[in-house]
Structure 1
C-alpha cells in the first residue's frame, strides 16, 4: 500500500470514528420537550448553611429540594411548596396537599400536621400560626417544642404583630364580632380588646405593637354604597385601653365623604393613621347617558364620570384628633412620607391639552399634613420613569431634571443639586425615544436616609444628601462595564406610565450586591459593596448570572448560557469560583444543541450588536436557513437559556428553532425620529449581512418574526424589501393613522405611543412621515408571504389592526394568513392556544424556508 492510500485510509478511519462519536448524540424531538424543567423559588438560610428551591415538572407535581450548602446532604419532597426556614434556622417547613411538614435541621426528624395550609412564625419560632383546610375559620397556635395546640374558632381575620410576639384575632360569634390579642410567650396570654354588634374588618397593627385599627360597618347610604367607620384602640394599658372613632373626631359626611373598606397603614411613629375616603356617586352623574367629546377638551376621550368614585387618602392625626386630606382633585396623586408629617403631591394632568404635552409633565408639590400648606418644589418634571422618589425614612424627595439629580430636604425646607458638580452623565445613553432622556436608574437609599446611590452611564455613586460627600464606588468606565444595583424584584413599565414613588432602604453593613455587564462582550459579574471597604468582586464569567442571594459569607446564584441549562451555585466569600450544587436538565448532553455568538456592526455611526444562535449539529460546510427576530435591542439575549417548549406566549422559541436546523438572529436597532420603519429596515439589513459573513447562512431562505412593536417592524420591512422569503407578525401595529387616532388600554388617546414612545413619530398624522411609516399604506408592495395573528381581547393593540392588514393583503391578492384567537390577550394565555401557535409558527417557517409539506391550515 502506497503512502497516499495509507493517508486516505487514515482519513476514512478517523472520519468513521468521528461519525461514531457524533452519532452518540440524538436530535431532540417535540415529544422530548416535556422532559425539560427549570428551578425557581430559591431560599438561602440566614447563615447560608442551607438552601431550598423548587424543581419544575412539566407533566406532574413539582419537587421541593432542601440542600446543605457545604455537603452532599440533599432531601427532596415531591409536591412540596411554600418552603421557609424557621427564625432560629433550626427547622425547615413546607406544605403539600396533605398538610404541613417540618424537619429538624439538626436531627433530621420529620414531623407532620395534617390539613394545615397557610402558616406564619412567631418572632423566635416558638409558635406556628396556621390555618386548617378541613376546619373552616379555625386558627391553630402550635407550640413547636411541646406540640401543644391551641384552637381559636370562628376566625374571620388574624394578623401577627410587626415584632412577631402577638397575634390579633377577629372572631365572629352569633351575637357580635370580637377582637382579642394573644401574646405568644411560653404561656399564651389572651386579652379582649373590642366587642361590637356590627361587622368588623381589616385588622391593622401599629408599629409599636400597642394599638390596632379596624373598620366597623355602618348602614349603607342613599346610593346603596357600603360605608364604614374607622376605629383605633390603643392598649398601652391593657386594663384601660383608649378607643377612638372617626365619627367622634369629625363627621366626614359633612365634607361629602364616606369611608370605604380599604387600605389602612400607620406612619412609622404611629402618630398618623392613613385610610381612604371617597365621594359617592350623585344622582346627576348616575343619570348621564351621553358622553360629550368637545374640540376644547384637554383629554379625548373624556373620562367616564359615571365610574369615578373619587378616592382620596386621608390622614388622621391621632394625638390631636384632626383629619387632613393627603391628595385631592387638584393633586390626585399623594404619597405620604413614612414619618407621616408631609406628602409629595402631583397632578398628572398638569400640562394639557394631552396632544401637546402628552400627559408626561408634572409639577411637584410638598404638602404639610398638619397645616395643609402646599409648596411648589419643581415645575414641568418629566414623569415617565420612576425617578421621583420619597426616601424610605421620609426625610427627602429626589427627582431628575435638566440632566441632574435634585433633592428636597424637609427639615431645612431647601433644595440642592446632588450631581451638578459631577461631569459624568446620568442619562440613559441608549435612549432613542422622542423628547427628554430618562435617567439610567432610579435612586436607591441606604438605611436611615444616610446616603443616596445614583447610577451614571457606567458607575454607581454614593452621595450624602447635602451633596458634600460624593464617592464613585465602581470603576466601570475604565474597564468598559456597566454597574447597577442588583434589584431582581423591581420592574417598571414605561408603556403603562407606571411609576413607583417609594423605595426600600439598603443595608451597606451587610452588603449591597452590584451587577456588572461588560459593554463589549456582554460578560457578566457581580460584586459586594460594604461600608468603609473596598468593592469585593465575587464573580466575573461568560455565563448569565441570575437569582443572586447573599447571606453571611455565602452567595447563591444561578449560572446559565444559551447552551448551558441553569446551574445552582454556592460560593463562599473567600472562593474565586463557586460550587455547583444542582444542575438542571443533565440529559441535555445527550442531544445536539446550538451555540451563540456576538456580532458587531455600525449603522449611521452607532455601534450595535446582534446575537446569533447556531443550529444544533452545525456543520460549517452546510448552509442553513435563518430567522430574524426584531424588537428594538435584543443582543442582550445572547446568553439567555430558553428551554425547548411549545407553550411560549408569542409562539416563538429560539431554542426550538435552532433544534430544528435554523440560525436565529437577534439584532439591535437604533432609531431616527420620524423614520422608525426605515431605521428598523436599515439595521436589520446590515445585521443580516454580518450574519451571512460570520456563518453559513442560506441567504435565499431567511425569515422574519416580530411581536407587538416587533410586529409593526416586520410588517414595514416586508413592504420595502423582498429579501425575506417569509414573515410572521403577531399582535402588531399596521395601520398607524387609525392607531394614532384611536385609544389605548387606558381608554385614552394612543398619541403618546408616537410622541414619546416606541413608534417615535412626532410629525402630523396627515404628513408624508406618517404615510411612509405605515405598513398598510404600502401593502401593494408586499411580495413576502405573511402570517398574522392576534387575540380578540388584546387590550394593548386592538386585534383589528391586524385584521385591517389582512383585509388589505386579501384585496390585493397577496399571500397571507391571519390567525384569530377568540378571547386571547396580547400574549397568549390559554395553554392550548399557545401550543397551537407554537406549532403553526414552526410549520409556517418549515414550509417556506425548508420546503416541507404545506400545512392544510395555511389556505
Structure 2
C-alpha cells in the first residue's frame, strides 16, 4: 500500500473544490468531479469521536470456526462491560448473542458450543435450537472425542452426562473425576461417598456401570486412556496417619473380553528407586504404543521441605548457591523431582528415566528415547535460564549418550523427527540434525546461501534463529526459515530447495500453525511436533511491505493465494472437515471484520464498529529517517482530526521499540487503557501522534533511543506541521525507561510521561525479581536492556545509560506513574527517581496506584490514569 495515497487524494480534492467556480462551464469536468467535492465536503463535516461515544466501540477477538464450517464465533469486548459472545451461521448469517465468555469452543460434531464464564458457570449452547444449559461451579469439562457427549463436573461432586444428540442429561452424585475414552464409548468415573470409594466404567449409551475397584480408605484419581480405548490407568492413594508419605498405587485396567487389573505396588516392585514415593497428584500417560505407562516419583526428602517453615527461619544466602534463596523458595529444585518413570504392566518392568543427576526429562515421539539434562548444571549463572549438557537415553537398552554440551535449555531450538530418531537443533549459527542410532551430527544448513539468524530482537547479545518449520512425515526432510523464505533441506544437508520467493519483494513467508481452533490433548513433558505433509495443501502466512495474508502450498501445485490484502490480515481458521475458512481483516481506517472463504470465493461475514463511518476517518502515514548507524527506519505519524493545512499542531511521541509494524492496526477509542495512552484520545483533541521505530547499539540502550527519537522528531518537524515548542514524550515499561532517560538528555520536549520504568541501572541490576525470585541482572546482561555484560565489567556504560546518573540535568516537567504492587519493574524505581527530582527542586508529579501492578487493570483506575495524563499534558501543550 502507498501510505501517501490519502494525502495525495486530499490535496487533489482541495485543488478541485477550490477551483470549481473557475471551471464550472466545463460540464464534463463538473460531472467527473462533482462526487469528489461532495464526498470531501461530507468528510469535512464529520466530527471527532466524543468521549461519551467511546463506549459504543468494541474489540473483536478470538474468532473460531466449527469443524463443518457452518458456525463461527468470536468475542466483542466493550471496555468496562461484560464481553458479548457472538455466534453466527456462516450460511444463513443468523446471529446469536450471549453474555461473556472467558473461553469457548465448538463440539467436535459442530452441533454445540461450550462457553465458560468468569463466575465458573459453564454454558452449553445448542446451535440449531439456540437453547442453552447452564452448569454452575464448574470443576471439570470435556467433550467426548466424537462429539456425541459432554461431561460436566461441578464443585459439589455432581457429574452431568449430556447426550448432545438428544439433549438428555444424566446426573450422578459423589463423583470426583471422570474421563471419556478416545472412542467415545466409555466414561471412567471415580466416586467418593465417604464410606466406600470406587472407580467404575460406564457405557455412555446404555448407562450401564461396572465396578473396576472399590476401597474403604483410598481415593482414585488421575485417569488416563490409551489411544485404542482398551486400557485405562489410574492411581489409588491412601493417606498414612502415621506421618509417612501417602501410599499410592498405580493400576492398569485392561478392558477386553477377559478384563484384567494389574498393579504397581512401590514397596514390592523390582526397580522402584529407593527412598522415593509416587505422588497421587502427578500426571500419568500412555506411550504411543498404548502399552507402556509414564508417571513420576519424588525423593522422600521432598516431604520435609516445608516452604512456610523455610520462610520463617533465618535464611542463609551463600555466594556459590546455584539459586539465590528467593528463587529456591519460588521454584522446586529439580533434584527434588518429579522424576520420570516408565512402567510396562504386562512385563512388570520398571525403568527410572530421570534421576537426581539428570532430573529433567523430555520424551521424543514414539517414546523410544528421552532427552535428559539438569537445568541447574551450570548455576550460578546470570542468564534467565542456564545452559546444560543434553543426553539421549535409549529406553530399550537404557544406554545414555551425550548429544551436545552447554546448550540452551530453550526448547524452541530443538525439534525431534516424527519417528523420534533424529533431533534438529540450532547451535553456532547453524541448524544440525543429530541421528540418535548413529550418534552423529550433520550441519544441514551448510549449503543455504542466506543468514538463518538475527540479533534484531529484544535480547542484548543473543543470536536467534529465524526458526524451524518442521519435518516431513517420512523423516527425510527438514523445513528451515531464513529472514524471508522457507527452505526444504534433506537430513544429510546435500539437497536443498527454496520453496517460497519472498526475498525478492521482502515478503516474509511462514508455515501457518493455527489452521484449526482446537486444543488437542498434549502429553506431558513432550516436544511440540510439527509434521508437514507437502503432498497435501499446507497453509502459509505472508507479511510484506505492501500486503499480508495467506497462501496454500503443496509440492505439486506450488503456491496459490488464498486471501491477501493491502491491510492487516490474521486469525485464519480452517474448518477441519470442510474446505472453508474464516479470516480477520483490519486497517487503521477499517474496524476489524471477518470474511468467509469457500470454493475460492470470499464473502464479508461481519463488520464491527459500523458507527466508525459516522466520524472523521483516521489519517496517518509512514515517515522515514535514519538511525545513528545509518539504518533506514520508519515511524507512524497520525494526524489530528480535522487537520487544516498551514496550521501547526502539538505532538505526542509514544515510544517503545519498533512500532511501525502497527501501521495497519485499527485502534479502538477508549479511556480504558492499561498504560494510560490511546492515540485516538489525542488525535481527537487536536494532537499529532508519532510512533517512531528505535534500534539499539549493544551497551547503549538509552543513547540509542535518544538518537532514534531525535531523528524521527526532526523528520516530522521538517514538514512544519508540528509546533516544536509543544511536543511531549510518553512511554511505559521499557518505553518508560527510555522516556525517563531522554528527559535527562534533551530539552526538545515540553513535558514527559514515564510509566513503570527502570530509572537506576545499578539498583535495578541488584534487585531480586518479584515474579520469580531471580536476580534482575539477566534483564541487562542478556535481554531487553541490552547491556550485554555485567555492571562490574562496564560500570561507565551502565552509568552512561542510567537516568538516575543524569537526574540533575532534567529541566522539563515529568510525570511518573506506577502500580504500587508492580513486581515486574519494582515500584521503588519510580519512587527513587521521584525523590531525586523532588530533592533537586524539579517539576515532578508521581501517580502511585494502590492494588495495581505493571499495567493498570481496574477499569476506574484506567480511566483515571488516562484522564490525568491527558489533562497534565494539556497544561503544557495547549495554548
Q: What range describes the TM-score normalised by the shorter chain of this pair?
A: 0.7 to 0.9
Whether 2:293 is the aligned partner of 1:267: answer no
Question: Mapping of 1:336-375 within 5 angstroms?
Answer: 336-355=363-382, 360-375=386-401
Equivalent in 723, 726, 730 of residue 755 of structure 2? 730
Q: Partner residue of 2:210?
A: 191
Report Cα offsets for 1:664-705 as digits up to 9, x if no partner: 222111211122111111111111112233572222211111
Aligned-pair distance for 1:462?
Answer: 2.7
Query: Is residue 791 of structure 1 aligned with residue 819 of structure 2?
Result: yes
The answer to whether the aligner puts 1:27 opposite 2:27 as a matched pair is no
Aligned partner of 1:528 in structure 2 is 552
| Aligned pairs for 1:268-307 within 5 A | 268-281=288-301, 289-297=313-321, 299-300=323-324, 303-304=327-328
Q: Deviations over 1:363-392 (max 9, x none)?
A: 222123345432111123244572123445
Question: Contact 1:385/1:438 (CA < 8 Å) preserved in 2?
Answer: no
In structure 1, distance between residues paired with 2:142 and 2:95:
23
Q: How does 1:72-91 map to 2 (within 5 A)?
A: 73-79=93-99, 84-89=105-110
Aligned equivalents of 1:795, 1:122: Cα separation in 2: 41
Relative to structure 2, which stretch is displaced further, 33-42 or 427-436?
A: 427-436
Partner Cα distance (2:436, 2:37) in 1? 79
In structure 1, C-alpha distance between the alignment counterparts of 2:164 and 2:515, rounded to whole Å: 32
Q: Which runs of 5+ in 1 are unaligned?
A: 491-498, 852-859
- Which residue of structure 1 aligns with residue 9 of structure 2? none
Map of 1:554-573 to 2, 5 A cutoff? 554-573=580-599
Q: CA deviation at 1:773?
A: 0.9
Name 1:690's counterpart in structure 2.
715
Q: What is the aligned partner in structure 2 of residue 496 from structure 1? A: none
Task: Choose which of 555, 566, 571 in structure 2 pairs with 1:542.
Answer: 566
User: Corresponding residue for 1:608?
Assistant: 633
| SS of corresponding position for 1:354 | coil
The 5 Å alignment of 1:135-214 reads 136-145=156-165, 149-185=169-205, 187-197=206-216, 198-214=218-234
Q: 1:807 aligns with which of 835, 840, 861?
A: 835
Higher relative contact order (CA 8 A, sep 6+): 2
Per the alignment, residue 421 of structure 2 pairs with 395
Distance 1:612 1:500, change over 3 A: farther
CA distance in 2, matches of 1:5, 1:827: 53
Q: Which of residues 733, 740, 745 is equivalent to 1:720?
A: 745
1:837 is aligned to 2:862? no
Which residue of 802, 808, 811 corresponds with 1:780? 808
Q: Are 2:447 and 2:493, in contact at CA under 8 Å, matched by a contact in 1?
A: no
Partner of 1:452: 478
Distance, in Å, in 1 between the alignment partners of 2:388 and 2:116 is 48
Residue deviations 1:93-148, cap 9 Å, x none?
Answer: 768979644143xxxx45555658776544544x4234387x94333434455565
Measure the CA separation in 1 of the matches of 2:461 and 2:156: 57
Counterpart of 2:14? none
d(CA) in 2 for partners of 1:736, 1:165? 61
Distance 1:346 1:57 in 2: 47
| Alignment deviations for residues 162-216 of structure 1 (CA, whole Å, 9 cap, x no partner) | 233322111223432222223345x455332222221111222122211222222
Match of 2:783 in 1: 757
2:623 corresponds in structure 1 to 599
Distance 1:219 1:822 in 2: 43
What residue in structure 1 maps to residue 7 of structure 2? Answer: none
Contact 1:598 1:611 in 2 (8 A): yes
Q: By how many angstroms is 1:473 displaced?
A: 1.7
| Contact 1:408 1:416 survives alignment (8 Å) | yes
Query: Relative to 1, partners in 2 of residues 1:145 and 1:782: Cα closer, same or farther, differing over 3 Å?
Result: closer
- Determine the C-alpha separation between the residues in 1 that align with 2:270 and 2:407: 37
Superposed displacement of residue 396, structure 1: 2.6
Report the equivalent of 1:856: none
Counterpart position of 2:657: 632
Equivalent residues, number? 826
Shift of 1:528: 1.7
- Quick one: structure 1 residues 299 and 429, their matched pair in 2 at CA, closer, same or farther if it must change by over 3 Å? closer
Aligned to 1:376: 402
Q: CA deviation at 1:455?
A: 1.0
Tell me the distance in 2 between the aligned counterparts of 1:447 and 1:700.
Answer: 63
User: In 1, Cα distance between the equivalents of 2:548 and 2:295?
Assistant: 45
The answer to whether the Cα contact below 8 Å between 2:112 and 2:164 also exists between their aligned partners in 1 is no
> In structure 2, what is the Cα distance between the partners aligned to 1:713 and 1:232?
59
Residues 352, 59 of structure 1: alpha-carbon distance in 2 compared, 3 angstrom cutoff: closer
Normalization by structure 1: what TM-score? 0.88
Q: Of the candidates 446, 450, 456, which is equivalent to residue 430 of structure 1?
A: 456
The alignment partner of 1:728 has SS state of strand
- Matched with 1:619 is 644
Q: 1:707 to 1:462 in 2, by over 3 A?
A: same
Moved more, 622-631 or 176-185: 176-185
The reply to whether residue 131 of structure 1 matches residue 144 of structure 2 is no
Aligned to 2:682: 657
**Does the alignment pair 1:462 with 2:450?**
no
Cα deviations by residue, 1:514-562 (Å, 9 ceiling, x for unpaired): 22122xx353122122343311122332211121112343231111012
- Alignment partners' CA distance in 1, 2:122 and 2:735: 46
Measured at CA, do residues 110 and 843 of structure 1 come closer, stay the same or move farther in structure 2, by a change above 3 Å? Answer: closer
Task: Write out per-residue CA displacement over residues 434-472 of structure 1, whole angstroms, 9 at most, x where no aligned residue.
Answer: 434110124434556564322111101233444455332
- Residue 590 of structure 1 is matched in structure 2 by 614
Of the structure 1 ranges 295-304 and 619-628, higher mean CA displacement relative to structure 2 is found in 295-304
Contact kept, 8 Å, 2:276 with 2:297, in 1: the verdict is no
Q: Give the TM-score normalised by structure 2.
A: 0.86
Shift, 1:317, TM fit: 2.5
Counterparts of 1:308 and 1:110 in 2: how far apart (Å)?
48
Equivalent in the alignment of 1:67? 88
Contact 1:293 1:302 in 2 (8 A): no
**Distance in 2, Cα, partners of 1:485 & 1:244:** 44
Given the alignment, which residue of 798, 822, 831 partners 2:850?
822
Q: Which deviates more from structure 2 when the two are superposed, residues 91-100 or residues 210-219?
A: 91-100
Alignment pair present for 1:502 and 2:528: yes
CA contact (8 A) 1:735 1:775 kept: yes
| Structure 1 CA distance for aligned equivalents of residues 270 and 320 of structure 2 | 40
Counterpart in 2 of 1:857? none
| Bigger shift: residues 647-656 or 235-244 | 235-244
Q: What is aligned with 2:497?
A: 471
Deviation at 1:742, TM superposition (A): 2.1
Q: Which runs of 5+ in 2 are unaligned?
A: 1-18, 517-524
TM-aligned CA distance change 1:447 to 1:80, over 3 Å:
farther
CA contact (8 A) 2:454 2:466 kept: yes
Deviations 1:397-430 (A, max 9, x none): 2211121111223344432222112122110262
For residues 305-335 of structure 1, the C-alpha deviation after alignment (integer angstroms, 9 at most, x for no partner) is 7974612232222143333333333333321
Secondary structure in structure 1 of the residue aligned to 2:293: strand
Q: Distance in 1 between matches of 2:843 and 2:183?
A: 67
Q: Distance in 1 between matches of 2:515 and 2:598?
A: 24
Q: Partners in 2 of 1:574 and 1:754 — Cα distance?
A: 50
Q: Hey, what does 1:854 align to over in structure 2?
A: none
8 Å CA contact retained: 2:460, 2:781? yes
Q: Residues 252, 537 of structure 1: CA spacing in aligned structure 2 closer, same or farther, 3 A cutoff?
A: same
CA distance in 2, matches of 1:705, 1:840: 13
* 8 Å contact kept, 1:715–1:729: yes
- Match status 1:666 vs 2:684: no
Distance in 2 between residues matched to 1:156 and 1:354, nearest whole Å = 44
CA pair 177-684 structure 1, distance change in 2 beyond 3 A: same
For residues 473 and 869 of structure 2, the distance between their equivalents in structure 1, rounded to whole angstroms, comes to 50
